[in-house]
Chains A and B, each alone.
Chain A
Amino acid sequence: MIFTLSSPQKNSKQFIARQGQISFFSYTSVENIEANNNQVLSIFDTETNEIAVNMLMRAFVFKKDLMYEHFNESYIESDLYPKATFEGKILDFEKNNNQLQTKIIRGKLTIHGISKQIDIKTNIEKSKDSYSMTGEFIVAVSDFQIKIPPILASNIAKTISVKFRFQFQPYEE
């Protein structure tokens, strides 16, 4: 208790990433769809090992402008569900390990208003006072009740691969 009180402010326990990157890919023989979001927010706590991610669906950039409109209007319905979020915990996280560590993050992913339990393998690297996290995982479109009309079923992959990269800095309130 005394230790926590006396520790200086900059030795903070929470870390934030304000310009996290998330990109997703849908590969089919008909069409490849790729999108990128550079404004993903994430925060994690080295005491509780809890992590949260929050992003605006409207911030995804697509190669074709029409894809952006279809993604937001017809599939993800960003008027109704503007955000996607994740809350979870890094399992067996070693906060003082300066080496690259590969850990599982277990938590709840919410897209299109539907929440799903998910395990994500993550590479975590500590450098001085910051952490970086990268990884890749796969989500099934059907898990999040995103409706694809039969006529377009061959244009959109059943599973979407998602890549992420976060650079965490100490969080000051």
Chain B
Amino acid sequence: MKNNRLIIFIICFCFFANFKLQAQDLLKKLDAELSDEKIEEIATFKTTRLGLGHSIETRKKGALQISLYNRYWDIPDFKGQRFLADVVSTRYGLEYSITDDFTFGAGYTNYDKISDGYLKYKLLKQQQNSKTGFISLTLLQTISHKKITSPTIYQPTTSDGYAFVSQLLIARKINQNLSLQVSPTFLHSQSNRFLNESKNQFAIAFGGRHKINEHTAVVSEYFYVANPLKSIETYNAFMIGINWEVSDLMLQFHLTNARNFAEDTFITRTTNNFNFKDGNLHFGFNATFILHTRKNKL
């Protein structure tokens, strides 16, 4: 009796298993047809800047980015009654992507009167199902110029305000939530404000993002300067914040000790450490809007 049941069960099982196998057979055949083509990793970071510095990302061809970066901070022992924060610094920026890999941009900051421009080229892209495309690599070259309005006519006001920054942005999307970036940086300044200082400086930027849901991520950055200035006391720039993507608009909120927006300035000339004292704590709010000037044909 028991044996009979077992046989029936086995027959039934075989029947169903067989049926199931057939349906899966078709899908399996399709899986074999699917090409093992390398797929480029997308959205290692969702924004072209992590917060302070650039990320490896560039926008696709024809994309125009309109950006407004704001930094707010308080002046220690300030007796005034200003609304919200004692000082607001704003950078107005425009960026345009000529190809999927090549972008240029420019901006102007009203507080420190620095104009900046950059060229960015995506050289290597991380690949899925591939042993070669382990990382993404982007090259960045910036130029900035500080307009010096001298209080006395005797101070030199020639073109000593130019500064250049070259960065190798190297990043890897570790998994779908975590991406890390390391960027060796070379800075050259033509400023003769500090005598007996090397005009060339080296720095390494470390950055990362961790997604907390589909649209928001926690981001952080730290800039280590190998040969800081000796004439003034400087601190390494640090940032922690949240990036939030709302359709075509990217919003970034962060806390940092960096006051300026141009790479050369905030990496080497941040004169306050990261803490919550007035004058040291800076609140940053970046808004970037992406406009597609070109549409794909379907």
Where the two chains meet, the residues of A that have a C-beta atom closer than 8 Å to any C-beta of B are 14, 16, 18, 23, 34-36, 41-45, 48, 50-54, 56, 58, 61-66, 68-70, 72-75, 77, 79-80, 85, 87, 147, 149, 151-152, 155, 171
B245/A72 in contact, CB under 8 A: no
- Number of contacting residues on B, CB 8 A? 32
B290 at interface, CB cutoff 8 A: yes
A52/B60 in contact, CB under 8 A: no
A44/B26 in contact, CB under 8 A: yes
A149/B39 in contact, CB under 8 A: no
B30/A42 in contact, CB under 8 A: yes
B33/A16 in contact, CB under 8 A: yes
A73/B31 in contact, CB under 8 A: no
Separation of A52 and B213 alpha carbons in the complex (Å) = 33
B63/A73 in contact, CB under 8 A: no
Give A100 Cβ to nearest chain B Cβ, in Å.
24
Bitwise, B188-218 to A at CB < 8 A (1) or not (0) is 0000000000000000000000000111000
B245/A74 in contact, CB under 8 A: yes
Residue in A closest to B24 when the chains form the complex, CB atoms: A87
Within 8 A of A (CB), among B1-55: 22-24, 26-27, 29-31, 33-34, 39, 42-43, 46
Where the two chains meet, the residues of B that have a C-beta atom closer than 8 Å to any C-beta of A are 22-24, 26-27, 29-31, 33-34, 39, 42-43, 46, 59-61, 63, 175-176, 213-215, 245-248, 290, 292, 295-296, 298
Give B244 Cβ to nearest chain A Cβ, in Å.
10
- CB within 8 Å for A41 and B30 given contacts A52-B23, A73-B214: yes
Interface centre among A36, A63, A147 (most CB of B within 10 A): A63
B292/A152 in contact, CB under 8 A: no
Q: Which residues of B contact A43 (CB under 8 A)?
A: 26, 29-30
B33/A77 in contact, CB under 8 A: no
Which 9 interchain pairs have the tightest Cβ spacing? A65-B60, A52-B26, A54-B30, A79-B176, A74-B214, A36-B298, A73-B43, A63-B295, A41-B30
B26/A66 in contact, CB under 8 A: no
Give A3 Cβ to nearest chain B Cβ, in Å.
20
Separation of A16 and B27 alpha carbons in the complex (Å) = 11
Q: Which residues of A contact B59 (CB under 8 A)?
A: 65
Residue in A closest to B60 when the chains form the complex, CB atoms: A65
Partner of B298, one of A35, A42, A48, A58: A35
Separation of A44 and B30 alpha carbons in the complex (Å) = 10
Q: Which residues of B contact A79 (CB under 8 A)?
A: 175-176
Q: Which residues of B contact A64 (CB under 8 A)?
A: 292, 295-296
Q: Which residues of A contact B27 (CB under 8 A)?
A: 52, 54, 85, 87
B63/A65 in contact, CB under 8 A: yes
Separation of A87 and B246 alpha carbons in the complex (Å) = 35
B246/A151 in contact, CB under 8 A: yes
Known A50-B23, A52-B27; 15 more pairs at CB < 8 Å:
A34-B298, A45-B22, A50-B22, A50-B26, A54-B30, A54-B31, A63-B296, A63-B298, A64-B296, A65-B59, A65-B60, A73-B42, A79-B175, A149-B215, A149-B246
Separation of A13 and B185 alpha carbons in the complex (Å) = 63
Separation of A54 and B29 alpha carbons in the complex (Å) = 10
Separation of A75 and B27 alpha carbons in the complex (Å) = 24
Residue in A closest to B57 when the chains form the complex, CB atoms: A69
Q: Which residues of A contact B30 (CB under 8 A)?
A: 41-43, 52-54
Q: Which residues of B contact A171 (CB under 8 A)?
A: 29
- CB within 8 Å for A155 and B247 given contacts A18-B33, A41-B33, A66-B290: yes
Separation of A44 and B22 alpha carbons in the complex (Å) = 11
**26 A–B contacts from the bound complex (CB under 8 Å):** A14-B26, A16-B33, A18-B33, A23-B298, A41-B34, A43-B29, A52-B23, A54-B33, A61-B298, A63-B295, A65-B60, A65-B63, A65-B292, A68-B42, A69-B43, A70-B247, A72-B42, A73-B43, A77-B176, A79-B176, A80-B176, A85-B27, A87-B23, A87-B24, A87-B26, A151-B246
Partner of A65, one of B24, B34, B247, B296: B296
Separation of A147 and B215 alpha carbons in the complex (Å) = 10
A66/B292 in contact, CB under 8 A: yes
Separation of A45 and B42 alpha carbons in the complex (Å) = 37
A56/B34 in contact, CB under 8 A: yes
